[in-house]
Amino acid sequence: MTHRPTSDEIRQTFLDFFDELGHTIVPSASLVPQDDPTLLFTNAGMNQFKDVFLGIGTRPYTRAADTQKCMRVAGKHNDLDDVGRDGTHHTLFEMLGNWSFGDYYKQEAITWAWMLLTDVYGLEKERLWVTVFEDDKGDLGRDEEAATHWKQKTSIDRNHVLYFGRKDNFWEMGDTGPCGPCSEIHYDRGPEACDMQNVPGHVCEVNGPCARFTEIWNLVFIQYNNLGEGHLAPLPAQHVDTGLGFERLVAILQGVDSNYRSDLFWPLIEQTQSMANQSDEEREANLTAYRVIADHVRACTFLIGDGVLPANDGRGYVLRMVLRRAVRFGRRLGFTQPFMAELAQLVIEKMGHVFPELPQRADFIEATITAEEERFLRTLDQGLTRLEEIMGELQVRGKTEIPGKDVFFLHDTLGLPFEVTRDIAEEHGFTVDEAGYRHAREEQRARARAAGEFALEADEHGRLYPQLLDYVREQQALESLRHDPYGPLQLQARVVGLIQADALVEKAGEEETVEVALDRTNFYVEAGGQVSDTGRLYGPDWEIEVAEMKRPIEGLPLHVGKVVAGTPRIGDPVRAEVNTGRRWDIMRNHTATHLLHRALRQVLGSHIAQAGSLVAPDRLRFDYNYERPITPEQQEEIERLVTEAVLANYPVSSRQERYREALEQGVIALFGEKYGDEVRVLRVGPAESPYSQELCGGTHVSRTGDIGAFLITSESGIGAGIRRIEAVTGRGALAAAQALRAREEQAASLLETIRENVPQRVLRLLEELRAAHKEIDQLNRKLARESFEALLDAVQEINDVPFLAAQVEAPEMDTMREMADWFRDKLGDSIIVLGAVIDGKPRFIAATTKALTRRGVHAGQLVKQVAQVVGGGGGGRPDMAQAGGQDAEKIEEALAQAQKAAEAMLR
Ligand SMILES: [Zn+2]
Ligand SMILES: [Zn+2]
């Protein structure tokens, strides 16, 4: 490039270069990671391709390039403290990158990077240095492949190729997963850029401590999968992942010594100067403040543009903190009124053509910034004054560390973020007790948790929900959210709050889980045993499927669901539709629960009290105190009483009443429930003589006839003195009765009879079975006797010695041993070999007499030879031995072998 290029040109040149090399230019991903809950902000270009590297996602292209907006506020890469104090650290930055997904590899990545930097951008070759991986652990050796490409495929000075170890030149996604060596390109700013010239013995070097060499581009070659504990397996597909620091590149190409002097930041600094009405000298004297403001206003603009709203936790806290930090530095330039929105306008103007979400959201971004500034300005003076008092007191006592509890007080009560307090403390030569601050913060969270109801789900989200309520009150100017689950099941409302990925957002992404606050809702939130409603929210061009409801804090009913179409935004009108069929099932079960309660008291006694309940669409569950199971007669009586109340078609009504007066009228209140002064009384039956009256916040049918059928499906004990009844109504009762009939029909068909005859048929079958068993026993005994006699016929003689080898029926080895003894007794000096199949395996026993063992017969050796035929082995005494094998089918063959063995022994 011949003229001094603008940042827009530098960015476009990069994208054009890779476009021509067949790369798909993709848009920057959101700063809020879409699928990665482990990541606070997108912090590298590769974040959006993580699934591809992990092998669980694919893209329709194999080459990609982009500029990615990134945010870093903590960690080794960026300490917020450095932002503004030097020329190279930023919270928000752009990273240019090119990727190969199993496509090109080291040679192309290296030669193209070299070509772009030298031929296209025109950097001097002498100023470029590269580093290549050499394993200092010795496991992987040197990346000679990359080194060779650098030395042979580019015109770099061969002495400028250096080797570094794991810390500098090996990239890992995490403890496991894709990883590989990398090759970094460094730029030599010249000896004058060294900021350690006065340090004795200092030598400027790549990866050294001074500012002379700057890393500008990292080429990562993903070739291994780390399986854990350092075991690296080669990946089937090798990838390239590169990251080129845009702000640094722009500063180098524009020939300025600080990123802030480049056209990415300088216009913001000039604008700030003109708004503060300061001279150039004043500007240079306050340069840190100018730099912090320029950096932070970019971060605020982009964060809000991606839907992050100021909050006291998570992403919202980061936004609040950088915004307040900028405002505090603005105070040092004399700003006492909101000024950030005007600077945000300039950011949007300059960056809008690259990041179109900024101009689309311009009004929202500016309004959010100004509202947060105003909120902070209300307490800023108080906070600053209090901090000065604290420092004054410490000084008197000769101390320089501000206690953690004071820092927390400033944060929690006066809205002074920890980082701002630390800035100011450092400016006055004080330090802050960070550990003490964190401890105080944790203690407060623990207290909030201990407060019970208040922090039902606030554990993880901390103060996210209170923030949302604040937002609804302040930004949406609503006193409270109206919750009326007793009214119509369809309702017109408005979206007043959205939470996605643990942050307040202004719009919700498709296919994502979202929590929605409406200015009014008809959805029931789980309480008193009745489950939450489900349903749908229809916006102008979007739809949310509501899967559950929750009320994390009082006064904040939230619809939790998935965006199935479009992009819901705050302010959108919405039609809220409760799932009607499901809700009716729930209402039938709830009213029936009250009838069941009443019937139980009538049948079992008025001491019966409810110990818990569940009212779901498919069933109701009622737990109560009682010592014994109910009898079948009691169960029928209870069902009959409930059914009579249904058939009476009693009206069901509710009324707000004073708690005491309700109790005086005999209304049933539940144990363990807290009631306010005003309570809702649910009555079934005429008001003057109600059939049932209970305190209840649930939803009910309007007449008991709506319940339809009622059936108890189970009764059981669930603990000492607590019984549980489950029952069904309406459609559930029909389904239960039909299932019962189907089972009876199935039994009848299996028994080849009609349903009415099933019990008699079963009784007859049982009798037949008993008779059959008796007959089988008799036959078995007879069979044993006969086969025993038959076996005697099979006795042969070998050299005048009786020999029997036979297969017998025997349930176990003991039986075989007894049989062998019996034969031996009967035959005198003889050889007996019996085989049987026991548990599917062949078993053998061999027996002879002492006299024959003296003639050379050995039962152990005999049975061993037999067992070999069936793939087994065994042994034992010379006169009695046993063996087993595998192949039951060869049992006959094995017994034939017994004869040969016996003949050999008697020869
Ligand atoms: Zn140096
Ligand atoms: Zn109830």
DSSP for 324-358, written as a single string: HHHHHHHHHTT--S--HHHHHHHHHHHHTTT-THH
Query: What pLDDT is recorded for position 453?
Result: 31
Ligand nearest to the CA of residue 700, numbered in listed order: 2
Q: Which residues face 402 on adjacent strands?
A: 432
Question: What is the CA(191)–ligand 1 centre distance, in A?
Answer: 7
Q: What angle do CA 215, 218, 221 make, to 5 degrees?
A: 155
Decide if 182 contacts 207 (C-beta within 8 A). Answer: no
Ligand nearest to the CA of residue 669, numbered in listed order: 2
Give me 67's structure tokens.
Answer: 């500029």
pLDDT band per the 50, 70, 90 thresholds, residue 672: very low
CA–CA gap between residue 240 and residue 242 (Å, rounded): 7
pLDDT band per the 50, 70, 90 thresholds, residue 76: very low
CA–CA gap between residue 465 and residue 821 (Å, rounded): 86
Cite the DSSP H helix spans in 182-265: 246-253
Identity at 579, one-letter amino acid code: N
Task: Residue 73: count other Cβ atoms within 10 Å of its Cβ.
Answer: 20
Ligand nearest to the CA of residue 592, numbered in listed order: 2
Q: Which residues contact 147 (CB under 8 A, 6 or more apart)?
A: 132, 161, 163
- Poorest-confidence range of 79-83, 204-208, 416-420? 79-83
Q: pLDDT tens for residues 58-67?
A: 888 999 999 9
Question: What is the CA(190)–ligand 1 centre distance, in A?
Answer: 9
Of 411-415, 587-591, 772-776, where does the model show the most confidence? 587-591
3-state secondary structure string across 295-332? HHHHHHHHHHHCCCCCCCCHHHHHHHHHHHHHHHHHHH
Place of tokens 């139980």: 600
Q: Of residues 720 and 492, which shows the higher confidence score?
A: 492
Question: What are the CA-CA distances from residue 221 to residues 149, 169, 178 (Å)?
Answer: 13, 10, 10
Task: Residue 60: count other Cβ atoms within 10 Å of its Cβ.
Answer: 5
Question: What is the CA(255)–ligand 1 centre distance, in A?
Answer: 19
Give the closest residue to 597 by CA, choosing from 444, 589, 714, 270: 589
Decide if 15 contacts 246 (C-beta within 8 A). Answer: no
Q: pLDDT tens for residues 728-787?
A: 999 999 999 999 999 999 999 999 999 889 999 999 999 999 999 899 878 876 776 677
H/E stretch holding 276 reads: helix 266-276
- Poorest-confidence range of 32-36, 454-458, 514-518, 721-725? 454-458
Decide if 464 contacts 504 (C-beta within 8 A). Answer: yes
Question: What is the CA(152)–ligand 1 centre distance, in A?
Answer: 30
CA–CA gap between residue 451 and residue 444 (Å, rounded): 11
- Poorest-confidence range of 10-24, 326-340, 485-499, 769-783? 769-783
Question: What is the CA(530)–ligand 2 centre distance, in A?
Answer: 8
Percentages of the chain per state (helix, strand, coil), in multiples of 5: 45, 25, 30
Question: What is the CA(449)–ligand 2 centre distance, in A?
Answer: 28
pLDDT band per the 50, 70, 90 thresholds, residue 458: very low
CA–CA gap between residue 655 and residue 675 (Å, rounded): 15
Give the closest residue to 529 by CA, choosing from 600, 624, 616: 616
Question: What is the CA(877)–ligand 2 centre distance, in A?
Answer: 80
Place of tokens 């994390």: 552
Question: What is the CA(257)–ligand 1 centre distance, in A?
Answer: 15
Decide if 905 contacts 865 (C-beta within 8 A). Answer: no
Decide if 585 contacts 732 (C-beta within 8 A). Answer: yes
Decide if 325 contacts 382 (C-beta within 8 A). Answer: no
Give the closest residue to 496 by CA, choosing from 515, 510, 524, 522: 515
Query: What pLDDT is recorded for position 231?
Result: 83
Question: What is the CA(186)–ligand 1 centre distance, in A?
Answer: 14
Q: pLDDT tens for residues 214-229?
A: 999 999 999 988 887 7
Q: Please give the model's pTM, rounded to 2 decimal places.
A: 0.54
Give the closest residue to 330 by CA, choosing from 441, 423, 422: 423
Place of tokens 């450092």: 426
Q: Which residues contact 75 (CB under 8 A, 6 or more apart)?
A: none
Decide if 498 contacts 544 (C-beta within 8 A). Answer: no
Q: Is 514 helix (H, G, I), strand (E, B) or coil?
A: strand
> Angle of helix 464-474 relative to helix 314-332, nearest 10 degrees?
60
Q: What angle do CA 348, 354, 359 make, to 5 degrees?
A: 35
Decide if 323 contacts 252 (C-beta within 8 A). Answer: no
CA–CA gap between residue 604 and residue 871 (Å, rounded): 69
pLDDT over 80 (residue 548): yes
pLDDT over 70 (residue 74): no
Phi, psi of 732 (to 5 degrees): -65, -35
Query: What pLDDT is recorded for position 792?
Result: 83
Ligand nearest to the CA of residue 202, numbered in listed order: 1
Mean pLDDT of 814-825: 84
pLDDT band per the 50, 70, 90 thresholds, residue 36: low
Decide if 707 contacts 730 (C-beta within 8 A). Answer: yes
Mean pLDDT of 163-171: 93
Strands (E), 501-572: 503-505, 513-518, 520-521, 535-538, 543-550, 558-565
Query: What pLDDT is recorded for position 452?
Result: 37
Q: pLDDT tens for residues 328-369?
A: 999 999 999 999 999 999 999 999 999 988 887 788 788 889
Mean pLDDT of 699-723: 91
Question: What is the CA(616)–ligand 2 centre distance, in A?
Answer: 12
pLDDT band per the 50, 70, 90 thresholds, residue 606: confident
Decide if 262 contacts 93 (C-beta within 8 A). Answer: no
pLDDT band per the 50, 70, 90 thresholds, residue 546: very high
Ligand nearest to the CA of residue 207, numbered in listed order: 1
Ligand nearest to the CA of residue 199, numbered in listed order: 1
pLDDT band per the 50, 70, 90 thresholds, residue 673: low
CA–CA gap between residue 515 and residue 534 (Å, rounded): 13
Residues with CB under 5 A from ligand 1 (ion): 194, 196, 204, 210, 212
Q: pLDDT tens for residues 837-858?
A: 988 889 999 999 999 999 889 9
H/E stretch holding 636 reads: helix 632-647
Query: What pLDDT is recorded for position 674?
Result: 55
Ligand nearest to the CA of residue 595, numbered in listed order: 2
Q: Is the sign of the CA dihedral 712, 717, 720, 721 positive or negative?
A: positive
Question: What is the CA(127)–ligand 1 centre distance, in A?
Answer: 14
pLDDT over 50 (residue 8): yes
Bridge-based pairing of strands 482-483 and 520-521 is: parallel
pLDDT over 60 (residue 451): no
Question: What is the CA(130)–ligand 1 centre distance, in A?
Answer: 17
